[in-house]
Amino acid sequence: MMNGNNIASTNSYCKMSLPTTATILLEFTSNDWWLRDIKRDYRFVEAIFKEAGHPTQMRYLRPGKEMQDVWNARRSCYFATMFSRGKTEKVFGTDICVPIPRLTEIVEYTEEEFRKAGKKCLICAHISDGNFHTNIPFADAQELKELRVLETKMIKKAIALGGTIAGEHGLGVGKVCYAVQEHGQAHIDVQEAIKKALDTDNVMNAGCFYPSQQQLYPTAHL
């Protein structure tokens, strides 16, 4: 899934003219030469979308250039963001994941928080597993600071909805400070005890993931 702002940026970057609205790409696969099961599956999904009353347009893209052009828009999300404000910029990327029934709620929440902050929100989502990314261009340290504030709001909302603070990017050093909020102190204490027992010299992923690493390595505060 790509939201409208993301579609606008990929249209510009990929020289396309997709409707600038939230767009879901679904890929159907088959071993049937005549694609009979794919067409059946497509009609089934089409009926679900129409019943929900949301899509303004649905298209069946046949294998080949037509389909590859549209998928290329999805694959180019990050690079399109770099040029979305008319010049090459750095990109702030983060992701969170929630139970699928809560995905709509957090996407709406995220877009609204960005709107209130005067920021354009570009979203790419792995719609089938409840994970989505925001890729946002920024020019300087002040803009990055403002985006960090928005990221914190996203993370706290994800936790409140029963989700996780990182969908596929992991905690690294950037989200260590939220680990206790998601899992609870007792859970983290157990994990840290296991790490200390197995890694007495602290050579495995030093500075990453565990809150105690923040006291040991300045990089964990990034």
Give per-residue pLDDT as tens, 30-68.
Answer: 888 888 899 899 999 999 988 888 767 888 888 888 888
Interatomic CA distance for residues 143 and 120, integer angstroms: 12
Query: In the chain, at which residue ranges do the beta strands (DSSP E only) sit?
Result: 90-97, 123-126, 131-138
Give per-residue pLDDT as tens, 142-196.
Answer: 999 999 999 999 999 999 999 999 877 777 677 888 888 999 999 999 999 999 9
Q: What is the DSSP string of 57-116?
A: ----PPTTHHHHHHHHHHHTHHHHHHTTTSS--EEEEEEEE--GGGHHHHHHHHHHHHHH
pLDDT for the residue numbered 219: 61
Closest CA to 16 of 58, 63, 75: 75
Look up the pTM and report it.
0.87
Question: pLDDT higher for 29 or 105?
Answer: 105
Domain boundaries, the chain: 4-168, 170-221
Please give the structure tokens belonging to residue 190.
Answer: 């157990």
Give per-residue pLDDT as tens, 114-138.
Answer: 999 999 999 999 888 899 999 999 9
- For CA atoms 166, 112, 144, 218, the dihedral sign is negative
Range 4-168 classified under CATH 3.30.70.2740: yes
